[in-house]
Structure 1
Amino acid sequence: MIVLEFKAEGKTTQYAAIDEAIRTAQFVRNKSIRFWMDNRGVGQKELYRLSKSLRDEFPFVKALNSSACQASIERAYSSIARFYTAHASSRGTRPTQCLDNCKKSVPGKKGYPRFKKNSRSVEYKISGWKLSETRKQVTFTDKKGIGELKLKGTWDLNFYQLEQIKRVRLVCRADGYYVQFLIGVDNKVDAHPTAYTIGLDVGLKEFYTDSNGHSEPNPRFYRTGERRLKFYQRRVSRKRKGSINRKKAVNKLGRVHLKISRQREEHAKRMARCVIQSNDLVAYEDLRIKNLVKNHCLAKSINDAGWYQFRKWLEYFGVKFGRITVAINPAYTSQECSNCGAVVKKSLSTRTHVCECGFVIDRDWNAAINILKTALSTVGHTGTWILDPNASGDSTSTHAGEVLYEQVGSMNEESSA
């Protein structure tokens, strides 16, 4: 599954219709969550029946395409299913409601389902839209009044059959509206072996340091644009709440935030692609970013580094190019000597590893070597693995094709924003 994204060009009335469709989809999702709260134990079929009753009761819901309503129901049910154990019945309509993921300490999103306040997208299935013969325009045929939108982008939809387009999504961002096409194709690429392996240690001073001693500088996009962010934030605070000028100021502030996020994502994507294409095995730290940002002194720098985005793209390109990606427990990787194995305790401010055996090396370089050694201790595996160097026996793995959902969520969008 790949995602092709285009900028949508239309009239002001069409943009207003898109906003109305997004609000309607949010309304259907929140109604589904409320119905589940009031009737614990209902499954996806009951929520589909709720969608039909909502269409009969509210005219603005009936104006939205039925497939878009069903997609909103599915989004609501996915948040409900995440809260419970992922053991569905044979019909796929009712999850086992005895043990939730919170009690089982399952990583990832698992909290209580919440209501959406500011949705930014609406999703259509195979109906409710129609592509032009040139594949340069898309027309939404429901009664919301969106109509025909021009597609601005470099992707060519003529390479794909209409049957391959599984869903179409309208997304609202600070700089405009976008149309995303979810296409069901095999995105794997046959790559020749390189006979190289590498270990990566991410940091704040350097973006990463590999086991060969090479370091990539940390671009610090947020720090660079922080002065401009403060300028627009002051302009927002000076405007009267609810006024049109405040909305314009908020939009300008959002554009700056959007630019920084795109810069960080594009940098992580480019670095990950280069690393994956140059090596047969890539080992990196299995960091828990949510725990690390609890340190208020380093939270801004950690979020600005984009470690999670980098790992996400490493795993995605690892599956695409058939490379092995290994996530290593980061415990003691910086303390252990990569030469003799002795533990040399050091604070975070100590940037040089000095061992009693006479081995002197940069702290991050030493950690990258330890990460690679731990990864190479287990051979004959494929896909993305999470290894614990202190554990015995076989390590758990996520096989190729499942990593996108089990490890980092759905990550199949290669198109730039």
Structure 2
Amino acid sequence: MIKVFEPRLSTKDKLSVLSSLNKSNISGSSEEVLKFESYLARTFDRKFAVALTNGTTALEVAVKSLDFNEGDEIIVPSFTIISCLSAIIRNGLTPVFCDVDPITWNMNIDNVKRVTTKKTKGVLMVHTYGLPADATNIKNFCDDNNLKLIEDTAEAHGQLEKRKKCGSFGDVSTLSFYANKHITTGEGGAVLTDSQELYDLMKQIINLDFKEPNRFNHKNLYWNYRISGIQASLGISQINSLNKTINLKIKQGKAYNQLFKSHTDFLQIPLSNVNESKNHYWVYGLVLKKQNHRDKLMKYLFENDIQTRQFFWPLHMQDSLPKKYRSINENLSSAEYIGENGLYIPIGPHLNLSKQKYVAKQIINYIDNSIVGKE
């Protein structure tokens, strides 16, 4: 089975972890964690970084750190991971869903403006599948309208938007270090900020609100979201390999583009760039232009030993969405269409060109036999 993704750890990664083990730097309070946070802040052009357990808790801590009031409206793209929705709702806020661009699969300023009301207090901006959102324009809009900006950069490590690093736009910006991310610690995440006040608060939130002089008298019922020193040591090594990882993905993405170029009447392939931003192909996504074929294609590929994943299912259509939020949306046709017809295919260090050609051949076989041949 050709997996949709399979991590590969280098000798340097393993030696970094071994060094941490040899020094007994394994806990969440070890010097390796502080070193990792320093590396992250520098890598993403921020003053502070708070490393924690995963990207989902990063979003929840990021939202909680901002001074929202219960019920405040937060704009979020409907086409994104469920973690964004849970971070809003678990903090007692109201999600307002915006659509995304049907070609880039990312939110843009027009999508945001279309759903902004007097009750809007923040925007959760997400960079999706290797291309950036319309970050500069969205940030400027938030600044002009006194809105807080939460930036989800889980899928955009090392990406730029108008020559500014993704992860440096938000009042708070989040990262995920899950095994399929361009920087991985197996599981893990971080929140980035330039605010000393927010940094100090988030450090309390992830550490059970321990505070001197009376360490065990807690003012708040916070959480233990600390990352371990072992994970941090892997993250430090991974940061040093970020450009190599991105360059490999770009090379593989370009190869797929060439392999599929004769079938773009039936497949929407990812853009190679948006303005000055090159696609980093965190995943390689495809949208079928003929409806009701996505799941059949996935079944066919699985039978031919190729693993795939469906695109995100739109947030406004989630079974878990409370009923009181279901009517707070406009026309979200792009999120619905790509959510119903999109999939992503294997990409990453476990793949060579021969395997890419095999994957593409099977997809083209399905199109020729089950779509073209049926017309």
Using the size of structure 2 for normalisation, the TM-score is 0.26
Bigger-Rg structure (1/2):
1
